[in-house]
């Protein structure tokens, strides 16, 4: 108890708890960068030089900024996939799998429908991606309502089922016969590709997270649905006594979250890969889940958290090539950010 009290006093002295939440979060992030800088010193690296290269390679160039934007698209979408179910008390760890299924469904539209007009093909792919992710998310909430299975377990394990399911198709039925044996589908036609912006890899899929964030914010904060979702998440039994159909809200929240993650999969295959192959995600869904927790499941905060994670990830690639530092080291920085943000948040509650 004495140790905890000392920590609280030190925290209160170093950081005013009456400051806005965004300021407190920035302070926590700064602390994470300081500690990571000390780790760089311990292994013989100059932290000032490393951070200079990192930010010059991400925020200091058109190419770097575009790559940050490319990463932010799936981060924001899969972050919302965790944030919306969280409003009704569900923990959706399945953004990764829902992304894969969304990519799979969108690819199926390309391979089997073959609509020639871009204005029709892309909306069909987006709808298929959303429905695919929603259906995959519905499995977890169905098992919860039917048999009481914890959704954390089902969403987490379903990620690996989804990844293996994609492999079944790209190694089998959908394998490109002209692909020299490589496990990927035939390349998409131009009508199924999201147009690139300003000659970079950043693509028109950027509108998907913008629309999703605005719609989520308005629904969660300005509608009766949003109010009822908070009631269900805060006290399901009290919400049920008020006549709110708790089960319905659980199903809809998880399906909407899964659908938004499915849109992330559609944007990856239509905007970046231009075909379906194994390993299209590389942990995008898990990093989106992390962004949601860093932001306290706030839709607008997810944008800021996704931007931070994207800068760190892209910066890690820069340092791998120019700073002789393994890109995996950036995951240590991400872990430190999570540790300080959530740790300070806990201290705030304890002090209050």
Domain identity same for 229 and 288: yes
Q: Give the pLDDT confidence of 118-170 residue by residue, as tens digits.
A: 889 999 999 999 999 999 999 999 999 889 999 999 999 999 999 999 999 99
Whether the predicted pLDDT of 16 surpasses 80: no
Domain identity same for 29 and 134: no
Residue 55 falls inside a structural domain: no
Domain identity same for 183 and 290: yes
Domain identity same for 112 and 16: no
Whole-Å CA distances, 29 to 304, 334, 339: 12, 10, 10
**φ, ψ for residue 201, nearest 5 deg:** -80, -15
3-state secondary structure of 150: coil
Residues 302 and 293: their CA atoms lie apart, in Å, by: 8
> CB-based burial of residue 339 (10 Å sphere; 0-12 exposed, 13-18 middle, 19+ buried)?
middle
Residues 43 and 322: their CA atoms lie apart, in Å, by: 17
Domain identity same for 122 and 132: yes
Residue 61 falls inside a structural domain: no
Domain identity same for 302 and 332: no
Q: 117 or 249: whose pLDDT is higher?
A: 249
> Using 50, 70 and 90 to split pLDDT, how confident is the model at 17?
low
Whether the predicted pLDDT of 5 surpasses 60: no
Residue 60 falls inside a structural domain: no
User: Rounded mean pLDDT of 246-262?
Assistant: 97
Residue 64 falls inside a structural domain: no
Residue 221 falls inside a structural domain: yes
Q: Which domain holds residue 262?
A: 72-324
Weakest mean pLDDT among 40-44, 80-84, 111-115, 120-124: 111-115
Structure-block tokens of residue 193: 């590709």
The helix, strand and coil proportions of the chain, stated in percent and rounded to the nearest 5, come to: 75, 0, 25
Q: Answer whether 185's CB lies under 8 Å from 292's CB.
A: no
Domain identity same for 35 and 172: no
Domain identity same for 288 and 188: yes
Domain identity same for 206 and 105: yes
Domain identity same for 111 and 202: yes
Residues 338 and 34: their CA atoms lie apart, in Å, by: 14
pLDDT at 7: 46
> Using 50, 70 and 90 to split pLDDT, how confident is the model at 23?
confident
Domain identity same for 188 and 134: yes
3-state secondary structure of 106: helix
Residue 291 falls inside a structural domain: yes
Q: Answer whether 194's CB lies under 8 Å from 268's CB.
A: no
Instruction: Return the number of other C-beta atoms located less than 10 Å from residue 64's C-beta.
Output: 20
CATH number for the domain spanning 106: value is 1.10.3470
Q: Give the pLDDT confidence of 188-233 residue by residue, as tens digits.
A: 999 999 999 988 999 999 999 999 999 999 999 999 999 999 999 9
Domain identity same for 313 and 292: yes
Residue 59 falls inside a structural domain: no
**φ, ψ for residue 112, nearest 5 deg:** -110, -25
Q: How many domains does the chain have?
A: 2
> Using 50, 70 and 90 to split pLDDT, how confident is the model at 76?
very high
Q: Give the pLDDT confidence of 286-344 residue by residue, as tens digits.
A: 999 999 999 999 999 999 999 999 999 999 888 888 767 887 788 899 999 999 988 88
Residue 51 falls inside a structural domain: no
């Amino acid at each position: 108890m004495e140790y905890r009290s000392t920590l609280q006093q030190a925290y209160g002295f170093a950081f005013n708890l009456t400051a806005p939440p965004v300021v407190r979060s920035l302070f926590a992030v700064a602390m994470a960068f300081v500690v990571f800088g000390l780790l760089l010193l311990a292994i013989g690296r100059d932290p000032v030089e490393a951070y200079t290269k990192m930010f010059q390679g991400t925020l200091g160039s058109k190419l770097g900024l575009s790559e940050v934007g490319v990463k932010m698209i799936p981060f924001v979408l899969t972050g919302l996939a965790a944030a919306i179910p969280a409003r009704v008390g569900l923990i959706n760890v399945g953004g990764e799998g829902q992304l894969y299924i969304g990519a799979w469904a969108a690819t199926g539209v390309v391979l089997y429908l073959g609509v020639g007009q871009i204005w029709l093909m892309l909306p069909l792919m987006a709808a298929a991606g959303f429905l695919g992710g929603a259906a995959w998310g519905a499995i977890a909430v169905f098992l919860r309502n039917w048999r009481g299975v914890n959704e954390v377990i089902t969403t987490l394990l379903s990620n690996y089922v989804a990844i293996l399911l994609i492999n079944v198709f790209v190694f089998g039925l959908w394998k490109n016969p002209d692909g020299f044996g490589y496990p990927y589908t035939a390349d998409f036609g131009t009508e199924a590709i999201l147009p690139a912006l300003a000659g970079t890899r950043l693509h028109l899929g950027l509108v998907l997270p913008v629309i999703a964030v605005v719609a989520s914010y308005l629904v969660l904060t300005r509608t009766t649905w949003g109010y009822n979702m908070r009631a269900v998440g805060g006290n399901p039994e009290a919400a049920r006594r008020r006549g709110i159909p708790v089960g319905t809200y659980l199903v809809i929240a998880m399906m909407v979250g899964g659908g938004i993650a499915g849109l992330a999969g559609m944007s990856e295959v239509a905007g970046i890969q231009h075909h379906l192959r194994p390993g299209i995600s590389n942990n995008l869904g898990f990093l989106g889940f992390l962004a949601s927790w860093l932001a306290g499941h706030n839709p607008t905060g997810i944008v800021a958290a996704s931007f931070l994670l994207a800068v760190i990830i892209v910066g890690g690639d820069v340092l791998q090539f120019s700073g002789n530092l393994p890109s995996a080291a950036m995951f240590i920085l991400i872990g430190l950010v999570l540790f300080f943000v959530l740790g300070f948040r806990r201290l705030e509650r304890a002090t209050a």
